[in-house]
Amino acid sequence: MSSKTVEGLYEAFAAGDPARLLATLHPELVLTVSAGMPLGVGGDHHGPQNALRDCWSVIFAAYETAPVPAEFLWSGPERCVVLGRYRGRARATGVPFEAAFAHDLTLRDDLIVAFTQITDTATWPRASEA
């Protein structure tokens, strides 16, 4: 069931569990991250391993954070927009931050094949300043 896949994605983020995160992703995943994200992670990432290595691992190394979903808006069995907030702190400085997000998720074969992240990118760099 697709809702279990989407819920599993956010549970994996909350647990900081890369194996569980990868288990929710389709081999043909395209992750599109908001331009302006810190640490050069904005743009497209192709494939689950690349998304993990080049985006999420980079962010989670610098920030203690996870996306906290507030609302799941389904438009059919294979499309969900998730609204929520990233909450956390910059690891280097301890500066807390909160940034709104919208995640547009498309599923295929009960796995996430497209993940578009839209977030308040201006909040992230401020959190990492000393």
Q: How many domains does the chain have?
A: 1
**Confidence category of residue 21, pLDDT binned at 50, 70, 90:** very high
Note whether 103 and 117 are within 8 A (CB): yes
Give the residue numbers spanning the domain of 18.
Answer: 2-128
pLDDT of amino acid 124: 87
Query: Which run of H or of E encompasses 57?
Result: helix 57-62
pLDDT surpassing 90 at residue 2: no
pLDDT in tens, 63-107: 999 999 999 999 999 999 999 999 999 999 999 999 999 999 999
| Residue indicated by tokens 């990492």 | 128
In what order do the strands lie in the sheet containing 79-90?
43-46, 25-33, 111-119, 96-108, 79-90, 63-74
C-alpha to C-alpha distance for 14 and 29, rounded to whole angstroms = 20
Identity of residue 85: R
| Tokens coding 58 | 């980079």
Question: What pLDDT is recorded for position 110?
Answer: 96
Binned at pLDDT 50, 70 and 90, residue 28 comes out as very high
Residue 34: partners with Cβ closer than 8 Å, 6 or more residues away: 42, 117, 118, 119, 121
Distance between CA atoms of residues 52 and 94, nearest Å? 24
pLDDT at 17 over 80: yes
State residue 126's pLDDT score: 73
Cα–Cα distance between 118 and 32 in angstroms, integer? 9
- CATH number for the domain that contains residue 91: 3.10.450.50
Q: What is the pLDDT of residues 41-67, one digit of tens each?
A: 999 999 999 999 999 999 999 999 999
pLDDT band at 36 (very low <50, low <70, confident <90, very high): very high
